Structure 1
Amino acid sequence: MELTEIKLDKAEYCVFDFETTGVSARNERVIEIGIVKIRNKKIIDTYSSYINPGRQVPPFITRLTGITDDDVAQAPYFEDVYNDILDFFGDSVLVAHNLKFDYSFLKYECLKTGLEMPENPAVCTLQLAKRIYPELPSKALGSLTRHLKIRHRKVHTGLGDAMATAKILIKMFDLLIDEHHVETVSDLIRFQTLTNSKSYRIIKKSLADDYVKIPDTPGVYFFKNKKEDVVYIGKAKSLKKRLSNYFVNNAPRKTKKIVTKADKIEFLGTNSELTALLAEAELIKKHKPAYNKLLKKYTRNYFIRVTSRENYPVVEVTTKFDFDGNDYYGPYPNRDIARLIKEIIDKTYKLRECEEKEFSKKKKCYLFDIKRCTAPCVNEDRKEYDKELEMAREFLSGKNQSALDRLLQKMKALSEEKKFEEAAEIRDVINLIFKQLHKASILSEPVNKAKTLIEIAGENKNDYLLLLEGKLFIRNFISESDKYFDEILKDYFDGAVELFKEITEQDLERLKITLNWLIKNRSKIKIHDLSRINSYNELASNLIFPSKA
């Protein structure tokens, strides 16, 4: 199969970035290359090397990149590493942010050294960003990493910038496939060259008449054929803008197929993007349109899981969430924060950190000796362990006083014993607590036990979601009336709600979609912990987003 006909998310990509002595490829030289290889939407390998430019590195380049004359003095020349670069590229799609810049340097380095240019197809994430994120004022690498909440380490280094670009590309894949119908590498190459200037080609009067009625609001849209069968269902922050992409001359192949099959456009307006996402998922399952994929993949979220199956529960980081009897705190913004919170718990509370297989051997380990575990494997004092576990749960719920008190005492004792390195480690943990990392979770209770009202600022009206121990109720949703939502909420405060023992697949699906959206849109939401609110009227007075209708 030709590389360009491989499915978009199955192809192999090499994201590369050059650091150079200046901006003119004709007159300047490369001083560093970084390459990141992606396969199946995962980073699988990296390559980097300094490159001797045969000249001095200008001082302003050193200030920008940190690369000095000493760094490149003994480095190989471009022609010496070119075969390594080609071998690493292989048959992959080449990718760069502002491809024109990096590709021009690749071209001139080859010309200057008499080498052949690689013939791999190439893609520019800057051009893709202009199509995918037209609302962003800047599509620079730094702007995109901030918008997508990607940690950009080692800025202005070859491998650092290539790694950030690779993570941006991976984030783009789902949007390209689900919202822009880009299915193959050839679709991707074509998509990046499209401009945002519209050249309309609405070929059916019925579609043109329906398109005129589409509002510029969030919602779900349906393409239907003459038999009223649903051909395709999609969602959008702006229905008008999203649907306009279906009627351009150079639309992707799948988009053209949908329009060809369709005879009618209908829509269902929602208050926010979240309720559009939820409605889309449920309507796709109901109608099973020919051009929709039933299974959506969600961005990976990170939770702290407190297990319940073991006699002595453990605290662990996980990306999986389910109603399996365990308690799940989160989600957290990224893996690093989840791991740091786990580290704070490990260094503060005396809970076991071992696997069940190791625990069953009934042999205490060094953690008991350094007072980081009660050693329940040999010391079956459940009361002491439960006390430690309860304090860890309080910490995960946003209360830090017990952690600070214990760590300050420990740091003081270590200092008095002149164990200054160990005291410094405890100080670092205390500083992490002061950064309020443990409050980075969306919810202060385990997700599976939360009793929460979620207030969401909408475009015209606000959305309200009620989460009661895994059941999610949505005000004015496609399958639920306002009256039902309000009755459930009032019954909760009256103590008349019998909480739900059976959690369905639909409940789990709704919750996964909701948590995935909430973690990315914290500025648009307000969480109301119902356990701290005494009445329906008190809750109403606490709502913060003004009603717009």
Structure 2
Amino acid sequence: MIYLTKVDLEDDAVRFVSIDFETANRYWSSACSVGVAVADETGVIDEWYTLINPLMEFEEQNIHVHGILPRDVEDAPTFKEIWPKLSSYLAGNVVIAHNASFDMGVIRKAVARYGLEMPDFDYLCTRIIGKKVWPDMENHRLNTLAASKEITFEHHNAMEDARVAANIFLHAMADSGVQSIEELTNVLKVNRKSIHDTSSSGSRSRYGDIKPQTDQFDPAHPFYRKQVMFTGTMKSLKRKDAIQRLVNVGGVHTDKMDTSTRYLVVGARDYEKFAAGKKTSKLVQAERMIEYGRPLRIISEEKFLSLV
């Protein structure tokens, strides 16, 4: 395990999510397992792994690679069923993967297949980074990079691959002498690529035509210049009317949960379900972001109305 010093580290300077998929066949939408490793400068701090029922046929060449058989996933959840949890790891974070074009392709294809909402996140490829940091290596496959750092693992196990990719990324930072992801990308001249929410036309809000009915705002108001998101069904008023009240106090409505989101307002009907343990995908994402230290608050419809 590699550890970075904590000298002058900014918040979230070295927080990222490493991900790896295995697929049942040649089609990228056929994910049959996923491994997720959350890491910071101290190493991997959280992990999650699950088999996935791809609802598709397995091909022998894929089974030969990862060893997952059709019977192994018979009782496993589908991609649609794991998406609320998986997307909560991705939303608003820097995501890394080895041969990231494949893993991002799996996400895109599976999301499109099931008609799911895509969160916003940036991603980087450890293979590309490896080529920049260690240009003289024979090749930059994950197992080759791991061997060079004396890391042993079970290749093509999604959890182990995600964990090792996270450690390779931390080694790349250490060997580059940098203290943040931003500094690493600047030094290596590698650009973060982005995946954006595909559930709307691309604007921050589908209600972008709603404008403030005043130009007098109180800068001390908790919603002033803060991005606010809504989820669930409201009892007291329509969503559009709630957004009008929000922008009237200087708030900014967003449909996309990312690192800039500061409030998630839960409609009264769903807040009751939330209290009983039932959660929307946005609630799951919000709880995950709060768990990792994001300055995000979940508030009820009643609390929202008391502020506007």
Equivalent residue for 2:165? 165
Structure-2 change in CA distance of 1:172 and 1:91 (3 Å): same
Deviation at 1:132, TM superposition (A): 0.3
Equivalent residue for 1:317? none
Equivalent residue for 2:117? 116
Deviation at 1:122, TM superposition (A): 0.9
Output aligned runs, 1:473-492, within 5 Å.
none
Deviation at 1:155, TM superposition (A): 1.6
Q: Which amino acid in structure 2 is aligned with residue 91 of structure 1?
A: G
Q: TM-score, normalised by structure 1?
A: 0.32
Equivalent residue for 2:242? none
Output aligned runs, 1:332-371, within 5 Å.
none
Contact 1:128–1:192 (8 Å) recurs in 2: yes
**Structure 1 moving runs of 4+ over 6 Å:** none
Structure-2 change in CA distance of 1:74 and 1:125 (3 Å): same
1:193-248: per-residue Cα shift (whole Å, max 9, x none)? 559xxxxxxxxxxxxxxxxxxxxxxxxxxxxxxxxxxxxxxxxxxxxxxxxxxxxx
Q: TM-score, normalised by structure 2?
A: 0.55
Equivalent residue for 2:155? 155
Structure-2 change in CA distance of 1:7 and 1:123 (3 Å): farther
Q: Secondary structure at the match of 2:17?
A: strand
Q: Distance in 2 between matches of 1:194 and 1:45?
A: 26
Deviation at 1:192, TM superposition (A): 5.5
Contact 2:91–2:120 (8 Å) recurs in 1: no
Q: Distance in 2 between matches of 1:44 and 1:183?
A: 18
Equivalent residue for 1:523? none
Deviation at 1:187, TM superposition (A): 3.7
Q: Which has the higher helix share?
A: 1
Q: Distance in 2 between matches of 1:75 and 1:192?
A: 40
Equivalent residue for 2:16? 13
Output aligned runs, 1:513-524, within 5 Å.
none
Deviation at 1:159, TM superposition (A): 0.3
Equivalent residue for 1:105? 106
Q: Distance in 2 between matches of 1:114 and 1:123?
A: 25
Contact 2:21–2:31 (8 Å) recurs in 1: yes
Equivalent residue for 1:43? 44
Q: Which amino acid in structure 2 is aligned with residue 121 of structure 1?
A: D
Output aligned runs, 1:149-548, within 5 Å.
149-152=150-153, 154-176=154-176, 178=177, 182-190=178-186, 194=190
Ranked by relative contact order (alpha carbons within 8 Å, sequence separation 6 or more), the top structure is 2
Q: Secondary structure at the match of 1:67?
A: coil
Equivalent residue for 2:267? none
1:46-79: per-residue Cα shift (whole Å, max 9, x none)? 0011111111221222222110001111111111
Q: Which amino acid in structure 2 is aligned with residue 82 of structure 1?
A: W
1:451-506: per-residue Cα shift (whole Å, max 9, x none)? xxxxxxxxxxxxxxxxxxxxxxxxxxxxxxxxxxxxxxxxxxxxxxxxxxxxxxxx
Q: Secondary structure at the match of 2:121?
A: coil
Q: Secondary structure at the match of 1:110?
A: helix
Q: Which amino acid in structure 1 is aligned with residue 24 of structure 2?
A: T
Contact 2:92–2:119 (8 Å) recurs in 1: no
Q: Distance in 2 between matches of 1:110 and 1:190?
A: 31
Contact 2:18–2:165 (8 Å) recurs in 1: yes
Q: Distance in 2 between matches of 1:106 and 1:35?
A: 13
Q: Secondary structure at the match of 1:48?
A: strand
Q: Secondary structure at the match of 1:149?
A: coil
Structure-2 change in CA distance of 1:191 and 1:73 (3 Å): farther
| Cα RMSD after superposing both structures | 2.3
Q: Any gaps of 5 or more consecutive residues in structure 2? A: 1-8, 192-308
Output aligned runs, 1:137-156, within 5 Å.
137-152=138-153, 154-156=154-156
Deviation at 1:123, TM superposition (A): 1.1
Q: Which amino acid in structure 2 is aligned with residue 14 of structure 1?
A: V
Q: Which amino acid in structure 1 is aligned with residue 20 of structure 2?
A: D
Q: Any gaps of 5 or more consecutive residues in structure 1? A: 1-5, 196-549
Q: Does 1:73 align with 2:74?
A: yes
Contact 2:15–2:94 (8 Å) recurs in 1: yes
Equivalent residue for 1:87? 88
1:107-148: per-residue Cα shift (whole Å, max 9, x none)? 111111112223111111101001000000200011111111
Contact 1:145–1:168 (8 Å) recurs in 2: yes
Structure-2 change in CA distance of 1:173 and 1:73 (3 Å): same
Deviation at 1:41, TM superposition (A): 3.1
